[in-house]
């Protein structure tokens, strides 16, 4: 599960668990943007928290663990990691692009510019399909390769670094708050 007990767990397993949480949020975002298309409205409180999850948890925390710690460790272990890592970095960048556009359209919607806000759903859809494919690649290829390349000591070292990123980027207790959010919104948008 998303927040399984981290003690004794491989760093790569922690990333896989986070991918499951992200997949749940992608399903919620899909439902929210479908509703937006049919009704022309979005629940502000929900959408604000979805954006917070995507920008803080996914980008500032999860992607940072990969970009700042996992990818460099893999590159140091094998030159063969270079091409897949570069491709995945490009996808992180593309994801940021969709979220940036989606937020701009959302601001425009909040300012009352209804017709311009169609971009919310369009960018949400682009992000969802990009991320679903991206997570598939990371789980099935990258993290499998990482398990072969990285020693148990290195995995432990990564775990320590992941913990620091969490503390500094999102703060204590926030992880649990995001877990609660997934549960709450899954119940609403089922
Ligand atoms: Fe990832």
Contacts of residue 131, defined as CB under 8 A and 6 or more positions apart, other chains included, come to: 22, 26, 95
Classify the C-alpha dihedral 127-129-135-141 as positive or negative: negative
- Output the CA 26–ligand 1 centroid distance in Å: 13
pLDDT at 1: 45
Average pLDDT over residues 58-62: 96
CATH, domain range 11-188:
1.20.120.520
Q: CA 123, CA 187: separation in Å to the nearest integer?
A: 24
User: By C-alpha distance, which of 65, 67, 72, 62 is closest to 23?
Assistant: 62
Q: CA 102, CA 123: separation in Å to the nearest integer?
A: 5
- Output the CA 99–ligand 1 centroid distance in Å: 16
Q: Please compute, for residue 167, the number of CA atoms within 13 A of its CA located in the half-sphere on the CB side.
A: 6
pLDDT at 7: 59
- Output the CA 66–ligand 1 centroid distance in Å: 7
Q: Residue 168 is encoded by which pair of tokens?
A: 């500094």
Domain extents for the chain? 11-188
Residues lining ion ligand 1 (Cβ < 5 A) are 138
- Output the CA 74–ligand 1 centroid distance in Å: 14
Q: CA 151, CA 44: separation in Å to the nearest integer?
A: 45
- Output the CA 29–ligand 1 centroid distance in Å: 18
Mean pLDDT of the chain: 93
- Output the CA 143–ligand 1 centroid distance in Å: 9
- Output the CA 113–ligand 1 centroid distance in Å: 34
pTM over 0.85: yes
Reported as a single tens digit per residue, the pLDDT across 99-132 is 999 999 999 999 988 766 779 999 999 999 999 9
pLDDT at 5: 54
Average pLDDT over residues 27-35: 96
């Amino acid at each position: 599960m998303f927040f399984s007990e981290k003690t004794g767990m491989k760093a790569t397993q922690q990333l896989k668990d986070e991918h499951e949480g992200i997949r749940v949020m992608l399903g919620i975002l899909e439902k929210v943007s479908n509703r937006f298309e049919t009704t022309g409205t979005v629940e502000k409180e929900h959408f604000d928290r979805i954006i917070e999850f995507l920008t803080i948890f996914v980008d500032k925390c999860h992607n940072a663990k990969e970009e700042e710690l996992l990818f460099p460790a893999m590159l140091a272990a094998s030159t063969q990691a270079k091409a897949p890592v570069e491709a995945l970095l490009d996808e992180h960048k593309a994801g940021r692009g969709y979220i940036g556009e989606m937020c701009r359209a959302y601001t425009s919607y909040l300012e009352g510019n209804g017709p311009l806000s169609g971009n919310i759903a369009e960018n949400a859809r682009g992000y969802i399909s990009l991320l679903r494919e991206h997570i598939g690649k990371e789980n099935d290829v990258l993290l499998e390769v990482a398990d072969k390349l990285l020693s148990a000591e290195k995995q432990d070292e990564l775990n320590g670094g992941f913990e620091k990123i969490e503390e500094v980027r999102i703060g204590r207790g926030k992880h649990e708050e995001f877990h609660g959010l997934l549960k709450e919104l899954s119940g609403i948008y089922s």
